[in-house]
Structure 1
Amino acid sequence: MRFLHTSDWHVGRTFHGADLLAEQAAVLGHLADVVAAEAVDVVLVAGDIYDRAVPSAEAVQVANRAMARIRAAGAQLVLTSGNHDSAPRLGVFGDFAAAGGLHLRTAVDRIAEPVLLEDEHGPVAIYGIPYLEPEPARQALGVPDVKGHNGVLSEAMHRIRADLAGRAPGTRSVVLAHAFVTGGQGTDSERTIAVGGVDQVGGDVFGGVDYVALGHLHGPQTLADHLRYSGSPLAYSFSEARQRKSVWLVDFGADGLAEVRRHELPVPRKLAKLTGNIDGLLGAGEHADLIDCYLSVTLTDSVRPVDAMRRLRERFPYAVHLEWQPENGKTTAAMRYAEAVRGRPDSEIARNFLDACRGAPPNDREATLLRTALEIAGKGEE
């Protein structure tokens, strides 16, 4: 049996305000091509199908079309809910969807009920652990004394191993789980799941099964041969700019895990970073290869340029993030508001505000306008 391990689709997510639905549709459509080309039997999605608990109608349509294409390509799907999903909404029609090859595992009380499939070597039990928020999960599991992510996931795996032990001898097993496992490397785009400052669980929690398809962390990574993150299919922060997004092709033989191969995904739009003064960045003949990239720009002008993002987007239409870090290192020391204004006339406060925001005091024309405005307001210096 061949699996395609994916996770963290985050359909409906934006990138610094830019709509990603077209890019998401393209890369998820590629999964269907992989299913057809590699004769994949089951696609696993380990949580965070959507980016929010109540996704937009457009996001639902993109996800629905992607799943329909995967199903038409010949694979069944097994999905669990992540910390971004609403488990009840995602799983509401689960029993009906299963008849069409879409298996939703979103309910805590069904953790030990596997999706049972067979190949020429016998049965494979696929268990889905939805994201377990520790406090409600320990109540739902009936174990009020366990603590944190490690406690509730340990209980979930205890129930899975107990069920597996009662299956036919030789039954192979897969577990989907959405968690931060010790040893994994996070990025800037995951929402924290820390409880009491602790968000990680030990990899030994997942012992006793043939393969664990992890979700939550957005970078592809291997913690052990049988314990892997596929990562997100798209980059959702500039901290992921150097990652090669991918999925895992997982082959089972008669004795369980036989081989795992990495398949790199297409990049609909690359990410890049630029640093320099605005005139240099906009100069003809430079950086032409970055025009179609999502850009994070750091400007080093000694004075903050006026209307910088609009000017940048005239040449780089996908510039989405802007910072100002002047080369001269001039910064305004952090100061509480009360300290910054104590004993100072309004005109000086206004001048200092401009200096703090753009790194330069008002010019003569601006100073005149400020003085006139204050006089009209009846607050000119005496």
Structure 2
Amino acid sequence: MEASRDLSALSVPLVGELVAVDDPWDPYRLIDPAGQPVEGAGAFLRDLQGAGRSATTARSYGMDLLRWFRFLWAVEVPWDRASRIEARDFSRWLQIAGQPRRPHWRRPSEAGRWAAGGKPYAPSVRAHSETVLRSFYDFHRDIGTGPILNPFPLDRSRRGRRAHAHRDPMDPPRNERAGLYRPRLPRRVPRSVPDEEFNEIFARLPSHRDRALVAFYISTGARASELLSTWQAGLDPGRQLISVVRKGTREVQELPASTDAFVWLPLYQLEMNDAIPRGQRLPVWWTLRSPSRPLTYHAVHRMFERANAKAGTSATLHALRHTAAYRMAEDPSLPLTDVQFVLGHAQLTTTQLYLNPRELHQTGEKSQVTRSRRGLEGLRGYYDLAA
């Protein structure tokens, strides 16, 4: 009979951390409570780097590993001795306990603990965690440094089935290799920001830099991290193009932007003329506070959250990408394959999601297609020049 573990009384200390290191060979390290690197996690992150994964992917995987190791440290089970019981309890813990209550930055001496009753983790977060941990133990099993049996196995009801058996060929393919403890993800329609709500948010942006950023997000459809990768030589106001580094392929791609975006950009540059370092390979986006530092994703995310709070809205930064995608898909002069190219989708089926009616943040809102025309001027001009 398996040992019973009272998860309701379990308290998980927020010990250990994922540290960013200024070393291209080892950009992130998982540190245990004693301040020593966790070699098992380090070997896995180095393997990811060898497979061509970016540093941001290593950080994302490292945060999932940190969450798992904190749970193991609390139940006093070594990572290489973890079994399916620990994996099951960890999956239950994520569902019920939710996110931890973190200590305030002004009171760092307060010990944070992971107790039940926090904000629930989204199913997508739990699914990503399950995938990362299953890959982690698959890696160590293959090289002989981990348990023989993966604590996060595949669903036993699917492993013995023939792939796509008894399935309508017109239906989208199913994932026949889903994990046993992987939650089922609801199929969500990408959410768009209504024009009235967007205007309210834009009117409360405090600086020309923020207005330029949001104008580029809403017109190019670039991901948040992609737009921040633009360097000063990647701006081409004459052709209304801006160069970004794509998240997945790491390739440089020119994206058309609206006239509005290139109006706010020089205003931001004039406003910060003395504070922004000049150089062809230096970033375009910098912090407003001195000393100037390259703008990060988390800083932009907080900026947009503050503007939302002032406007009394609930839009997200990523919803701007969805809004731009909907506006492009609604334009009858743009082929869907061109929209796919601009958005950087690997599959056309992903772009086809934006052919569905919009799901707005506020019900009863009516989108204005006339505003989408303005955001697509640069896109049509780009293809006219290419022709």
Normalization by structure 1: what TM-score?
0.19
From the two aligned structures, give the one with the greater strand fraction: 1
From the two aligned structures, give the one with the greater helix fraction: 2
Normalization by structure 2: what TM-score?
0.19
